[in-house]
Amino acid sequence: MDHYGLDPILGLLLPGVGDIIGALIGLYIVSIAKRRGLSKAVIARMLFNLALDTLLGAIPIVGDAADFVFKANEKNLHLLESRVTATGKMSSAVDWAYFAGAVCAFVGMCGLVVYGFVRLVEWVV
């Protein structure tokens, strides 16, 4: 998505909704990381990258420009490639805390984008 510039274009054509679609497509890289056994901390970082990209991209016009600069999918791909094998296990409680926090942030950011989009539609209509 980032390599071909599809994420900002999708966000520009479908404000708010396009950013969520882009984030859902970006979850594919996260699922590969999960299947390859990367630590929960790395997966949490990937989810945070997607959440931040979704939040930035949801800002009309400025967010689409930010999508050209902040490339969450490329960052996540780099994380995946640089940590193909999980090394240096952290304590289980810390791993779960990172993971739970990242999932909450991701869901919250997506919810915030949907809420903003609904409010924008209500304001326009």
Q: Kindly state the tokens that stand for 21.
A: 């679609």
Say if 94 falls within a structural domain. yes
Measured at the alpha carbon of residue 3, what is the angle toward residues 16 and 23, in degrees to the nearest 5? Answer: 30
Q: Kindly state the tokens that stand for 6.
A: 């599809």
Model pLDDT for residues 69-106, shown as the tens digit of each residue: 888 888 888 888 877 655 555 445 666 777 788 788 88
Domain count, the chain: 1
Say if 65 falls within a structural domain. yes
Dihedral sign (CA 102, 104, 110, 115)? negative
Gap between the Cα atoms of 96 and 118, Å rounded: 33
Model pLDDT for residues 15-40, shown as the tens digit of each residue: 777 888 888 888 999 999 888 888 88
Say if 106 falls within a structural domain. yes
User: What is the domain range of residue 89?
Assistant: 6-124
Q: How many residues does the chain have?
A: 125
Gap between the Cα atoms of 22 and 87, Å rounded: 30
Say if 89 falls within a structural domain. yes
Say if 1 falls within a structural domain. no
